[in-house]
A = this chain, B = another copy of it.
């Protein structure tokens, strides 16, 4: 039983709203999808997420890091290398993303079934 948010409850009292605030933007789920196959670098993500701008990718990654979903590892080399990996919390989210993918790939020929 999920409760709707009470009118006087602010700042994501409702878990769905909180989740939405984290993964609700355009590219986030796709980033998680691509990270699902293992650690990736900034450039790799930019390539696999055909069409994303570096600005947006950077923003989304920062959000995910701040939320404790991914970890950013910087190698002090030149040229710089940066890798992104799921945290345990991210791993749990990943499972759900996989479920969404499964759901999305169901056969829909029999509408509504």
Point out residues on A near B: beta carbons under 8 Å. Answer: 1-2, 4-5, 7, 14-20, 22, 24, 26, 29-30, 33-34, 36-37, 48-50, 67-69, 71, 87-90, 92-93, 96-106, 108, 111-113
Q: Would B89 and A18 count as touching, CB distance under 8 A?
A: no
Q: In whole angstroms, what is the CA distance A14 to B34 when docked? A: 11
Q: Would B96 and A108 count as touching, CB distance under 8 A?
A: no
Q: Would A4 and B48 count as touching, CB distance under 8 A?
A: yes
The residue of chain B having its C-beta at the shortest distance from the C-beta of A14 within the complex is: B33
Q: Would A71 and B112 count as touching, CB distance under 8 A?
A: yes
Q: Nearest-CB distance from A97 to chain B (Å)?
A: 7
Known: A14-B33, A19-B104. A98 touches B7 (CB 8 A): no
Q: Which of B33, B50, B97, B112 contacts A68 (CB 8 A)?
A: B112
